[in-house]
Structure 1
Amino acid sequence: MSFDYDLFVIGGGSGGVRAARVAAAEGVKVALAEESRMGGTCVIRGCVPKKLMVFASSYRDAFDDARAYGWDVKNGDFDWQTFKPKLHAELDRLEGVYQRLLDGSGVTWFGERAVLKDAHTVELASGKSISAKHILVATGGRPFVPEFENCDSVITSNDIFNLDDLPRSILIVGGGYIACEFACILNGMGVEVTQYYRGEQILRGFDGEARGLIADKMCDNGVKLHTGTDVIELEQRDGGVWVKATDGREQVFDKVMYATGRVPNTGGLGLGKLGVKLRRNGAVAVDDYSQTSVPSIYAVGDVTDRVNLTPVAIREGMAFVETVFNGNPTKPDHELIPSAVFTQPEFGTIGLSEEEAAEQGPIEVYSTSFKAMQQAFAGRDDRVMMKLIVSKETRKVLGCHIVAPNAGEMIQLAGIAVKMGATKEDFDRTVAVHPTMSEELVTMKSPVRTA
């Protein structure tokens, strides 16, 4: 049987585009469809614009520090109307880069929605049907807002980048990394930020000591964080959105943002009708090689809800090409993945938290908290944390957790050592780079506790 294409990719995000390009470079005839903007969540409404907003929001403290270091700097107000067009110009530029990369790779792409018609056929929004030997679903995820009365009065992280004006006040509902990052960003830009989280501490699933330090500093910086708190009622009123909370508090905010998780983008794709197995949350169920229950259909990235990170989606896409088109069955590696949470302070992490490691066997905990030189000189009370979780039996470093400026940059490098299976003694043998914050990772000699 002949097909129009060897591979059809649904979704123009990081995972789908990388799979399409790598496959095309191997001589595979590839087509791709994207109903929105090329680049997906990360480039258009996620990692990239968020990180640019992190940079923008950090200058308030930088001005204060500059004066402490002798610079004649005056504080000013953040101007959203200056920043926003430059932000969108950068996103337009990056979208163009993605489009040119596809064109340069010989991938045929369609700027419209595609759904599955059968195991080897997709149908475009224009009505055109296209056949392919293999179909790759890479449609990513979307913000989740629970169904409740007046839920259409709230915004999500997707909407933040397109606001006409910054609100004077905002309620952020949620305690995960997206909620906490935007609480810090908007607070740094001068917005009065309140955050409700129904759990007892933000950043559930991360190391407990790190979570506590970040929460304390967010509060010190001006975020009004209320844990054990959720929304009971909400409605649009003159002047904003009125909210009643579980603790009895009533308040009107200019905006209310829900950051209560993300769900896979599988609705309306026709997967269920074809017998593609979906998990309870709608994620595409795949095996170790990203193959679905329908042999010709594969899926990578957030739509599978395995590890929802852009670099992981890219690795999954490359492993898919290696498996299907190069005859080399390759499993994407989901173990020991370094990641960063761009709160203020920033958090870098890899491996097991102290709590997770203690459940698996005897451990030693090496941890230190101190004032970094740059901030201490400026008179700030900010503290950083460096932490290693070590197996008593193997001496391997099971987890590394950093709360500090540029923690994301540091954890990328520390992650190499942890991924290679470095022991605590390997860290100890490494000569410190002085004076740096990260030298503490190789100078902690005695555990602060064992478990």
Structure 2
Amino acid sequence: MAKEYDLIVIGSGTAGSVTAGKCREAGWSVAMIDELPFGGTCALRGCDPKKVMVGVTEYLDGMERLKGFGLAGDTRISWRDLMQFKRTFTEDVPERRVKRFHERGIDTYHGHAAFIAEDKVQVNDETLQGKKILIATGASPARLPIEGSKYFAYSDDFLELDDLPANILFVGGGYISFEFAHIARRAGADVRILHRGDQPLDGFDSDLVSRLADYSRDLGIDLQLGTDVKEIQQTAAGYNVIGQQGNETKAFKADLVIHGAGRTPNISSLNLEQANVNASRKGIEVNEFLQSTSNPNVYAAGDVAATQGKPLTPVAGMESHIVCSNLLKGNHRTAGDQVMPTSVFTLPKMASVGLSETEADEKGIDCKVNAMELTDWFTYKRTRQPVAYAKILIDQEKDRIVGAHLLGHEADELINHFATAIQFDIPTGDLKRMLFAYPTAASDITYML
């Protein structure tokens, strides 16, 4: 006999946890299911542990840049110490998350969830029936048509390496590959990235990407573009990765081969057809209320939902609040035009918000493009940053910022100021009159407009 709940949530990351908690506070009976340790990708296997590791490499990078300019002596990264430090942020997350769920009166089920009817889910040997069901299973690495793909390691594996391999190869030139490549290279590994296209980091401004790519090569990362990976071969010493570059076939040796070629919605094993839930390669098809277009009692949020939102934790959080409000009060709330900045946590960092030049042109916006090399600006010169660049797009008719693209060690924080200006439609004239604390990266904004 099925155990009945007002709400069943599949996935314990940001999107699932927020909705489960708020619906429980409203008096609903709630079940939370996850086949992985409770806590979700960001807290356990993604942005949080990654940022801890980036922080350590950032200090090392700063010391290297300022050696002979007030700093002396050598230092290096101890990989084992770094991993031990990282684990202080992740090891107790599942236990704490489950304890918090139970304190709130949320039932937890650890196992794989699959639909067996429009309102029923099978998990382990139990059947759960929900008046409403939220799918928040996130994303998983995309399946690649590569012979020997079983030899891939993944981002989860990289974040749990007890020892750093001497030679690491990343397949795909996305943000995961670049961020981990920068970490591994500064920790002493030989690193190579093989990317199929002519430009990595799709979706970011090409001028910034080319500068970051050049600096990555200067750092010692072997970035090979136009390389179509065909096969991974296991050898006695490690792996051979076979790639096609034009008419030439090349073999690259590695101790570890990591999948960094994108992620797709995690829906393949949910038995969605049993629930009459339509989905595409972009995820679960939802309306503006994040409600399934084919099963009105099912909602989806986060990376698993086929929305315009980027696959980022803040978007998952925002969508969870939308779902919760619509569950409790009936469908009334939509995402609207929410501005979402994004950052690549390489060193230097790269960040973007709003429109690209191409997108602005397609919309017919008469833009003034302020493109600036920043390495001689005080903010960047005082720490001897070798690469710093900004491109700000301003709608000349409306006197509004429509896009901002930044490269530099302060980019991840600075981009939020531009996001605020775009979201709340602040004229550039008003921004120029702002009094920012000085000298700070934010105080440079008035000179960028």
In the superposition, the TM-score normalised over structure 1's length comes to 0.92
Q: Do 2:23 and 2:324's aligned partners in 1 also have CA atoms closer than 8 Å? A: yes
Equivalent in the alignment of 2:16: 16
2:129 is matched with which residue: 120, 128, 131?
131
Q: Do 2:242 and 2:252's aligned partners in 1 also have CA atoms closer than 8 Å? A: yes
The CA distance in 1 between the partners of 2:56 and 2:387, in whole Å, is 22
Gaps of at least 5 residues in structure 2 are: none
Q: Superposed, which structure 2 residues align to 1:105-120 within 5 Å?
A: 105-120=104-119
Instruction: Name the SS of the counterpart of 1:49 in structure 2.
Output: helix
Q: Superposed, which structure 2 residues align to 1:292-307 within 5 Å?
A: 292=292, 293-306=294-307, 307=310
2:355 is matched with which residue: 348, 352, 357?
352
Q: Superposed, which structure 2 residues align to 1:226-375 within 5 Å?
A: 226-247=224-245, 248-279=249-280, 281=281, 283-292=283-292, 293-306=294-307, 307-327=310-330, 329-333=332-336, 335-361=338-364, 362-371=366-375, 373=378
CA RMSD, 1 decimal:
2.0
Q: Superposed, which structure 2 residues align to 1:69-148 within 5 Å?
A: 69-76=69-76, 78-125=77-124, 127-148=125-146
1:376 is matched with which residue: 378, 381, 402?
381
Identity %: 31
- Alpha carbons of structure 1 residues 381 and 58: separation in structure 2 relative to 1, 3 Å: closer
1:187 is matched with which residue: 185, 188, 206?
185
- Alpha carbons of structure 1 residues 396 and 73: separation in structure 2 relative to 1, 3 Å: same
Instruction: Name the SS of the counterpart of 1:28 in structure 2.
Output: coil
Q: Tell me, yes or no, if structure 1 residue 417 matches structure 2 residue 421.
A: yes
What residue identity is the alignment partner of 2:362? E
What residue identity is the alignment partner of 1:94? V
Q: Do 2:12 and 2:39's aligned partners in 1 also have CA atoms closer than 8 Å? A: yes
Shift of 1:249: 3.1
Q: Do 1:272 and 1:278's aligned partners in 2 also have CA atoms closer than 8 Å? A: no
The CA distance in 2 between the partners of 1:250 and 1:356, in whole Å, is 38
Shift of 1:393: 2.5
The CA distance in 1 between the partners of 2:148 and 2:180, in whole Å, is 22
Q: Do 1:58 and 1:188's aligned partners in 2 also have CA atoms closer than 8 Å? A: no
- Alpha carbons of structure 1 residues 111 and 319: separation in structure 2 relative to 1, 3 Å: same
Equivalent in the alignment of 2:165: 167
Q: Do 2:195 and 2:224's aligned partners in 1 also have CA atoms closer than 8 Å? A: yes
- Alpha carbons of structure 1 residues 3 and 159: separation in structure 2 relative to 1, 3 Å: closer
The CA distance in 1 between the partners of 2:93 and 2:421, in whole Å, is 32
The CA distance in 1 between the partners of 2:285 and 2:149, in whole Å, is 30
Gaps of at least 5 residues in structure 1 are: 446-451
Instruction: Name the SS of the counterpart of 1:99 in structure 2.
Output: helix
Instruction: Name the SS of the counterpart of 2:191 in structure 1.
Output: strand
Equivalent in the alignment of 2:42: 42
1:403 is matched with which residue: 403, 407, 413?
407
Q: CA offsets per residue over residues 98-144 of structure 1, 9 Å max, x none? A: 2233223221112222222212222211x111222101111111012
Equivalent in the alignment of 1:448: none
In the superposition, the TM-score normalised over structure 2's length comes to 0.92
Instruction: Name the SS of the counterpart of 1:194 in structure 2.
Output: strand
Q: Which moved more, 1:430-439 or 1:147-156?
A: 430-439
